[in-house]
Amino acid sequence: MKALVTGAAGFIGPHVIDRLIADGFDVAAFDLQEVDIPGVRSIVGDLTDAADVDKAVSEVEVVCHIGAIGDVYLAGNEPALAASVNVTGTANIAVAAAKAGARVVYASTWEVYGEPEYQPLDENHPTNPDHPYNITKLAGESMLFAADRLHDVPTMALRLGTAYGVGLRANSVFRIFIDRARAGEPITIQGDGAQSRQFTHVRDIARAFSVACRSDLREVALNTVAPEAISIKELAALVVDRFPTELTFGPPRPGDVPPAAVSATRAADLLGWKAEVPFDEGLAELMDSVVASG
Amino acid sequence: MKALVTGAAGFIGPHVIDRLIADGFDVAAFDLQEVDIPGVRSIVGDLTDAADVDKAVSEVEVVCHIGAIGDVYLAGNEPALAASVNVTGTANIAVAAAKAGARVVYASTWEVYGEPEYQPLDENHPTNPDHPYNITKLAGESMLFAADRLHDVPTMALRLGTAYGVGLRANSVFRIFIDRARAGEPITIQGDGAQSRQFTHVRDIARAFSVACRSDLREVALNTVAPEAISIKELAALVVDRFPTELTFGPPRPGDVPPAAVSATRAADLLGWKAEVPFDEGLAELMDSVVASG
């Protein structure tokens, strides 16, 4: 099966590509910059350019649409950029998929729910996104589902947990903690550190995409989130355990999403997907990779 | 008070401008094309161009942000255009308003709720928009509220009922019925005609904008909808009553939003706004104006 992966030069994209190749897909990669992955055709293009997107999608049967302004702080500071890439870009994918007869599997986020009215959050919970990142991600998801109804584009959305793993962006909390601790600098927890996340390993996420590409599910959003809740304090403690340094506390960052329990029962029921990588193992592997890279 | 009205060359914009002038505002008009309204400075610009928007907003204290892809069928066929104008354009307004210290009153729509879980729809009802038009309008509203929280931009949203009145677009159901009946051609009702709407007169809407501009309400969405529910069959009957012709029935149009009762109690409570124009009077005035224009 021919697949296109957008956001191929980002964090999640390359892991999805690896998994798709292992599962026998013929993979093309789409991003603003060239990617160099053996056996993968690299297409340089811009999600906001309909012609670029049309051309890339025309040759495939399924699109893993991961490309986005995924940096929450960038989206907060440049909301028009987030709107353009995350909403217009996804509309371009939807239109191109309608022409090509391609299926779209979309990288959404557990953050679409906003303030919890009940917990754990399931997919029936109302969506009240509150930040340019999650607002534009939800709009992209909704645009794809509208294309499914109006133009018969088979779509589904994976509402991903906060992803971590090898290759994580340098401005993620993981990398900031690891990099500072290795340099012997104090780690600053923003807020009281009690806020927790169901950090989800990028290999588990990549497997979800591969299964979703081969699924017949349509117009369905699935929480794709690991079961373990890890607080920022626990994360910091695990990092300090390996790279001893001082722990300090600072003011919370505006735009930080408060913690909430998220249920992935529907993904287990409908897709047969469950997260498998234990957090301590995933974190150890990430720390190993940072050490190995110098 | 200095106000900027976007979408000044559209249907609702000119009525809002008239009302603001009557209420003593100093008004500038923003649209892709020049508008010629006495006493109003016309600014030609593109909502998707941040520099155009910055410049226009920099000089005012309040923005009535009405400019949008408001044609549902156009939005359905060109979702990327709807995303660009309605979401990126609104993000540009939010960023410009943050710089200028301006308030933003946003033209949202009752269609943001999607399929009703209960009726009448109030502002606490979950939002499940299902079409590129209402998806992008809700995303714009959410982007403004996020700017209020993150960047201290005073914002509010009017979730407008389906607007009608003098100057309505030629492809609206009102104009299609009137134009066909006047030409002696049969009127075709799409679907069974039982679907009703709380059609809201554009002068009532214009008054809501003027009050909202002077209000201190923030991060609040208000249903701005007239109380009378009029079915398409009733509308057709009123038109045929004046311009006798045959009534026929055709298949429903995809993307048509099913009817739902909408409550404007909150707008009455918080803004002191209620619709005042009775439907039969508003429709008679519209038919008069179409006759008068030839």
Q: Which 3-state string (H, E, C) describes chain A?
A: CEEEEECCCCCHHHHHHHHHHHCCCEEEEEECCCCCCCCCEEEECCCCCHHHHHHHHCCCCEEEECCCCCCHHHHHHCHHHHHHHHHHHHHHHHHHHHHHCCEEEEEEEHHHHCCCCCCCECCCCCCCCCCHHHHHHHHHHHHHHHHHHHHCCCEEEEEECCEECCCCCCCCHHHHHHHHHHCCCCEEEECCCCCEECCEEHHHHHHHHHHHHHCCCCCEEEEECCCCCEEHHHHHHHHHHHCCCCEEEECCCCCCCCCCCECCHHHHHHHCCCCCCCHHHHHHHHHHHHHHCC
Residue B191 pLDDT grade (very low, low, confident, very high; cuts 50, 70, 90):
confident
From A79, A145, A149, residue closest to B143, measured CB to CB: A79
Residue A148's pLDDT is what? 98
CA–CA separation, B103 and B63 (whole Å): 6
* pLDDT above 90: residue A169: no
Task: Work out the average pLDDT over B186-208.
Answer: 93
B95–A88 C-beta distance less than 8 A: no
Each residue's pLDDT tens digit, A27-75: 999 999 999 999 999 999 999 999 999 999 999 999 999 999 999 989 9
Q: Is residue B80 part of a domain?
A: yes
How large a percentage of chain B has pLDDT more than 70? 99
In a domain, B253, yes or no: no
B242 within domain boundaries: no
> Of A208, A176, A192, whose CA–CA distance to A110 is shortest?
A208
Task: Name the closest residue on chain A to residue B124, using Cα atoms.
Answer: A126
Average pLDDT, stretch B115-123?
A: 96
Is it the case that residue A231 has pLDDT exceeding 70? yes
pLDDT of residue B254: 65
Q: Classify residue B222 by burial, with Cβ atoms within 10 Å: 0-12, 13-18, 19+.
A: buried
pLDDT of residue B170: 85
Q: A-side interface with B, Cβ within 8 Å? A: 50, 76, 79-80, 82-84, 87-88, 90-92, 94-95, 126-132, 135-136, 138-139, 142-143, 145-147, 149-150, 254-255
Question: Is B220 a domain residue?
Answer: yes
Separation CA A237–CA A17 (nearest Å)? 32
* Contacts with B76 from chain A: Cβ below 8 Å: 146, 150
Give the whole-angstrom CA distance, residue A36 versus residue A41. Answer: 8
Q: Which of B79, B84, B150 sits opposite A95 (nearest CB)?
A: B79
Chain A interface mutation, best of B142, B144, B145, B150, highest count of A Cβ atoms under 10 Å: B142
Nearest by CB to A150, from B87, B91, B254: name it: B254
**Minimum mean pLDDT range among A145-154, B29-38, B257-266:** B257-266
B75 pLDDT above the threshold of 70: yes
Establish if A287 belongs to a structural domain.
no
Query: What's the complex ipTM?
Result: 0.94
Domain range spanning residue B31? 2-165+199-227+261-277
CA distances for B73 relative to A49, A271, B196, angstroms: 22, 34, 19
For residue B85, tell me if it sits in a domain.
Answer: yes
Residues of B in contact with A138 (CB under 8 A): 139
Q: Which residues pair with B158 in a beta bridge?
A: B107, B222
Is the Cβ pair A127, B130 closer than 8 Å? no
Predicted local confidence at residue B258, as pLDDT: 74
Does the pLDDT at position A256 exceed 80? no
Is residue B189 in a domain? Answer: no
Q: What is the pLDDT of residues B140-183, one digit of tens each?
A: 999 999 999 999 999 999 999 999 999 998 888 899 999 999 99
Q: Fill in the DSSP letter of residue B147.
A: H
Q: How many domains does chain B have?
A: 1
User: B184, exposed or middle or buried, with CB in 10 Å at 0-12, 13-18, 19+?
Assistant: exposed
Question: Inter-chain contact A147–B91, Cβ cutoff 8 Å?
Answer: no
Q: Tens of pLDDT along B232-272?
A: 999 999 999 999 999 999 888 766 667 889 999 999 999 99
Average pLDDT, integer, range A223-246:
95
Quick: pLDDT tens for A72-98: 989 999 999 999 999 999 999 999 999
Q: In angstroms, what separates the C-alpha of B95 from chain A's closest C-alpha?
A: 8
Cα distances (angstroms) measured from residue B28 to each of A23, A114, A279, B100: 59, 36, 57, 15
Which carries the bigger pLDDT value, residue A294 or residue B182?
B182
Cis status of the peptide bond prior to A120, with omega within 30 of 0? yes
Beta-carbon contacts of A256 under 8 Å, excluding residues fewer than 6 positions away, are A190, A191, A195
pLDDT in tens, B127-136: 999 999 999 9
- Token pair, residue B217, equals 């309400």
Q: What are phi and psi of B18, to 5 degrees?
A: -55, -45
Find the CATH number of the domain harbouring B27: 3.40.50.720
Question: Does pLDDT of B6 surpass 70?
Answer: yes
Quick one: pLDDT at residue A252? Answer: 83
Contact B87 A92 (CB under 8 A): no
Cβ separation of B91 and A80 shorter than 8 Å?
Answer: yes
pLDDT band at A22 (very low <50, low <70, confident <90, very high): very high
Q: Write down the pLDDT at residue A163.
A: 96
Contact assessment for residue B237 and residue B198, using Cβ atoms and an 8 Å cutoff: no
| Residue B14, domain member (yes or no) | yes
CA closest to A84 among chain B residues: B88
Ramachandran bin of B152, using left for φ above 0, alpha for ψ from -120 to 50, beta for the remaining angles: left
**pLDDT exceeds cutoff 70 at A189:** yes
Q: Is the pLDDT of residue A170 over 90?
A: no
CA distance A201 to chain B (A): 29
Determine if the peptide bond prior to B244 is cis (ω within 30°).
no
